[in-house]
Amino acid sequence: MEDSQLQILLKENISKIYDILDNAGVFKDKYNELINDIVEPLNRVCSEYVEKSIVAVKCDVYEDIIKSTNFPELNTKLTKDVRAKRKPKASRMKFVRIPDIPEYEIETYDTDPLVSMFVNWTNRSVKKYTRYRKIALGNLDTLSESVEEFETIMLDYKRLLMENMKRYVQGLYEVHYKYVLELMESNGKNKGEQSIIINDKNIKLINSQSTFIKESLKSFLDLQ
C-alpha cells in the first residue's frame, strides 16, 4: 500500500523533529518553528490519522475490486444462466462477516519535554537539557513505532478486506441473479422498491447488475 498524504506528512515531520533535536544550537534557533510549524501540524495529523487511514484503505479496496471485476463477463454469465434456468446457489456463505479493525489510538507528541529543553538550555543546565532531550527523543521513537505498528495492522486489514470483497462479488452475483429470475417469473411487474438484509446492511435490489454490485460493496464498506 502506497503511503497516503497523511503518512507522508507524519513521516516528514518526525524526520524534521529528529534533525532539530540532533543539534542544541539548531534546537535553540528553530524552537518556535518546531513547536508552531512542525509539532502542532504533526499532532493534528495524529488526531485524525487512524480514522482517515481506515477510510482510505476501504476506498482503495473498493477501487481495486471494481477495477479487477470484469462486469461485461459477469453480464454475459447472467444471460447464459438465465437461458439455462440455472438454480441460484446459496449466496450467504459468501458474506462472511468482516471482523472490526482493532481499536487503535496514536497519541499526540508531548511538547512538555521540548519546553523543558528550551528552559534548561537558556539556563545553561546541560544535565537537565540532556535528560529532557532523551525523553523527547524517546517519545518520538514511541510515536514512530506506533505509526509503523498501525500501518502493519492496516496492511493486514486491507488484505482481509480484499479477500472478503472478492467473495462478496460472487455472492452478490447470485443475489442479483435470483432477483432477475423472480422478476421474470412475475413478468416484470413492478413490486415497488425491494431490498435484502445481508450482515445487517439493507441492500437495495435493482435491475442493473453492475450498479447493484458497486452500490452493495459501498454499503458493506461503509462508504455511503
Would you say the pTM of this structure is higher than 0.85? no
pLDDT digits (tens), the chain, 224 positions: 456 666 787 788 889 999 998 888 899 899 999 999 999 988 888 888 888 888 989 999 999 999 999 999 999 999 999 999 899 887 666 788 887 887 888 888 999 999 999 988 877 788 888 999 999 999 988 888 888 888 889 999 999 999 999 999 999 999 999 999 988 888 766 666 789 998 889 999 999 999 999 999 999 999 97
pLDDT confidence of residue 97 = 84
pLDDT confidence of residue 1 = 47
Query: Please, what's the b/e burial string for 99-138 (b: 16 or more CB within 10 A of its CB; e: otherwise)?
Result: eebeeeebebbbeebbebbbebbeeeeeeebeebbebbee
**Which three cell numbers, joined as nine digits, stand for 106?**
496514536
Distance separating alpha carbons of residues 100 and 91, to the nearest angstrom: 22
| Contact (CB, 8 A) for 108 and 47 | yes
Distance separating alpha carbons of residues 98 and 220, to the nearest angstrom: 9
pLDDT confidence of residue 5 = 65
Distance separating alpha carbons of residues 148 and 188, to the nearest angstrom: 54
pLDDT confidence of residue 32 = 94
pLDDT confidence of residue 185 = 84
pLDDT confidence of residue 34 = 94
Domain ranges of the chain: 5-220
